[in-house]
Chains A and B, each alone.
Chain A
Amino acid sequence: MATGKAKINTEPDSYKNAQDNEDSAVSDEDRSIIDASDLELKDIEGIGPTTAKKLKEAGIISVLELAVTSADQLAIDIGCSKDTAATYIMESQRLLRRSNVLENEFVSASSLLEKRKSMLRCSTGSKSLDELLIGGIETQAVTEFYGEFGSGKSQICHTLCAIAKQPISDGGLDGGVIYIDTEGTFRPERLNQIARARGFNPMSVLKNVAICKVYNSSHLELIIKDLGKYINAFNAKLIIIDSIISLHRAEYLGRSTLADRQQRLNAILHKLIRLAEIFNIAVVITNQVQSSPDMFFGDPTKATGGNIIAHTSTYRIYLRKSGENRIAKMIDSPYHPYSDIRFTVNEKGTDDIEETPKSKNKK
């Protein structure tokens, strides 16, 4: 670990050269991967001890956090001009790139494909749901589940909490979970039950989940702003927000406040997607539905949050009830086929439907 830091301090020239060669878009395979947590704010070009102190006072303690802050916010937090803030952010990203935490600016798709192998997948507990997601919930992306009440959104979240602790070979992420509960639906006893039914150690699962109850939308915005700090503190690999919309939906009433609400939601989601990318973590959000009265045929349920949430979440899955079972449908994804599958909810959380003659009809 110490070698990583020493390398940066002693060989600034070689890294400058690497920077100059960036245009050629050749990724330097020889560069050793340095653990991002070894980098310090003062390693960033142009940031001296004073600025580093200011940043720390503003709650930004690592290079990774600085890299995902928005310039506006940073300018307010440390009291500098927006351009200076933008420069700090660019420099921090450049440092990450030099240390091989981030890709070069131009990177060929083939090396990106190689890089995508560092992506982890967390199993959802149901084989058919995993199939829909081609292996499970991805890190470096925001996965959204939306559906009516009782369609299994919170159950999926609880099951993910239990599985995320498991080793990577068993479909887990081998890391902590941050569960941001806005609807007051998190139940530790349910998590205990799921862990027990799946044969995990319930105590280690429960210890692994950091719950944050959020009471109003500004509180949520504040939590998301400082999330980088908590990710480090809990070694989190999975962030769950159940649900993203409820507080904003309750507080911003009427059309006149709609634009403001949507912009605030967008800022939250933007931050989440950047955190997911830079920290290599999975972000799962749930969303509620509304019925649109202008639909005369078909399913009238629509996800709330409008175009903002629709555009920003990487993967969108629509959940709906079908008797005892649930149907999950892929609505938007850059590469999954738009198909649907069935699963069920039982004491193990989300689970496959047991083979009965009826389920042979499935798709």
Chain B
Amino acid sequence: MASNRNKVQRISTGSDSLDRLLHGGVETHAITEFYGPSGAGKTQLCHTLTVNAILNKLQLNKKLDNVVYMDTEAKFRPERLISIAQARGFDLDSDLRTSWLSNVLCVKAMTAHQQELILEKRLVPLLNTQDENETQNKIVLLVVDSVIHNYRAEFLGQSTLPERQQKLYRFMNQLSCIAQEYGIAVVVTNQVNNSCKNNTMNNSRPTGGNIMNHTSTYRISLKRLAGSSRTIARIVKSAYHKESEAYFLLTEKGIEDIPGLC
């Protein structure tokens, strides 16, 4: 078991303090969930992770990996990937300038049903062919931004809640199998809702209830501090990380350390 753990790779998030929080970055063989209110930096984090997962290999002179980006909120922007890569100063010569983008496979899921089918009927066969075929680029990161969007819009009212949660559980369980079987880092984002049951302020909770809490391996809450561009990341659930916090900035580079606070 311990030797299996040695196979775990880590993908840098782009911020040293956040990497330190995660013991080096987002892990393969696990699901890492980032949740937070709108504007907290979830999508920016996903974009930065995508760039890092592919281009950090460039510096090691290794073959580039592939990233699968499942976009449910229509917020994937390839031009943003380019601007992050440029701002982070990756040495891209003319033919690599935009050609590395072909290592990002983007898939749009417009309904919850489609989201499930893509995973089951498209992604798993794709991963199987990759296992047989050594020459193909390996998929190292799967981003789902966000996992809840379609479910939240399609299943209305209390009566459909059990069905929604069951489907969500199945989807998350499949992600978990994929992560472990193929050694992929799975990153999912999640939205928040406000519970009005208690009267305390700032009671926003991640959506998806217990299902999401149980199925994600690591859970990180993101929150943008009022009146500043700082985001605070806090580990909420993990098997071995300390419950601690990290701060980072949202900039041209995607996400970045706060200068002078390290």
Q: A113-B79, A260-B157, A267-B156 are in contact. Are A25 and B192 (CB under 8 A)?
A: no
The answer to whether A105 and B122 have CB atoms under 8 Å apart is: yes
Give per-residue flags for A84-101: 1 if the beta carbon is below 8 A from chain B beta carbons, else 0. 001001100100000000
Residue in A71, A113, A264, A266 whose beta carbon sits within 8 Å of that of B111 in the complex: A71
Binds B, one of A44-52, A55-63, A202-210, A305-313: A305-313
Given A108-B103, A116-B78, 9 more pairs with CB closer than 8 A: A108-B102, A108-B104, A263-B157, A267-B153, A267-B156, A307-B194, A308-B193, A311-B73, A335-B47
A354 contacts the other chain (CB 8 A)? no
Interface with A: B3-11, B112-120, B175-183, which one?
B112-120
Q: List 11 A-B contacts (CB under 8 A).
A: A68-B110, A105-B107, A107-B105, A108-B101, A108-B105, A112-B76, A116-B79, A295-B226, A298-B227, A310-B38, A332-B39
B191's partner among A107, A311, A335 (CB-CB below 8 A) is A311
The listed residue (B76, B83, B105, B191) touching A106 by CB distance below 8 A is: B105
A-B CB proximity, top 8 nearest: A270-B153, A310-B38, A109-B104, A110-B101, A335-B80, A332-B39, A113-B78, A109-B101
Is A191 on the interface with B (CB-CB < 8 A)?
Answer: no
By a CB distance below 8 angstroms, the chain A residues around B129 are: 23
Partner of B81, one of A67, A109, A277: A109
Cβ < 8 Å to A, chain B residues 140-180? 146, 149-150, 152-157
Which B residue sits closest to A335, measured CB to CB? B80
Inter-chain contact A334/B106, CB cutoff 8 Å: no
Select the residue from A103, A108, A310, A314 with max chain B CB neighbours within 10 A.
Answer: A108
B250 proximal to A (CB < 8 A): yes
Is A316's beta carbon under 8 Å from chain B?
Answer: yes
B107 contacts across to A, CB distance below 8 A: 105-107
Known A-B contacts A108-B106, A335-B79; A273 and B74 likewise in contact (beta carbons under 8 Å)? yes
A70, A105, A255, A262 — most chain B CB neighbours (10 Å): A105
Complex CA–CA separation, A310 to B40 (angstroms): 11
B238 proximal to A (CB < 8 A): no
Q: Which of A71, A264, A269, A297 contacts B154 (CB 8 A)?
A: A71
List B195-232 residues whose CB lies under 8 Å from chain A.
196, 201-202, 204, 226-227, 229
Interface size in chain B (residues, C-beta < 8 A): 61
* B58 interfacial by beta-carbon distance below 8 Å: no
Looking at chain A's contact residues, the main secondary structure is helix
Is B106 within 8 A of A335, CB to CB? no
- Give the complex CA separation of A331 and B41 in angstroms: 11
The reply to whether A334 and B110 contact each other, CB–CB distance below 8 Å, is no
The minimal Cβ–Cβ distance linking B220 to chain A, given in whole angstroms, is 17
Question: Is residue B64 contacting chain A, with contact meaning CB distance below 8 A?
Answer: no
In chain A, what residue has the closest Cβ to B104? A109
Contacts of B101 in A (CB 8 A): 108-110, 112-113
Give Cα A269–Cα B105 distance, bound, in whole angstroms: 26
Distance in Å: Cβ of A136 to nearest Cβ of chain B: 15
Say if the beta carbon of B77 comes within 8 Å of chain A.
yes
A338 is an interface residue with CB less than 8 A from chain B: yes
A72 to B113, CA, bound (A): 11
Nearest Cβ on chain B to A82's Cβ, whole angstroms:
9
- Beta-carbon contact of B99 and A110 below 8 Å: yes
B43 close to A331 (CB less than 8 A): no
Bound state CA distance, A308 and B204, in angstroms? 12
Residues in A neighbouring B237, C-beta threshold 8 A: none
B188 to chain A, nearest CB (A): 14
Q: Does B157 lie within 8 Å of A23, measured CB to CB?
A: no
A109 close to B78 (CB less than 8 A): yes
B34: which A residues are within 8 A, CB to CB? none
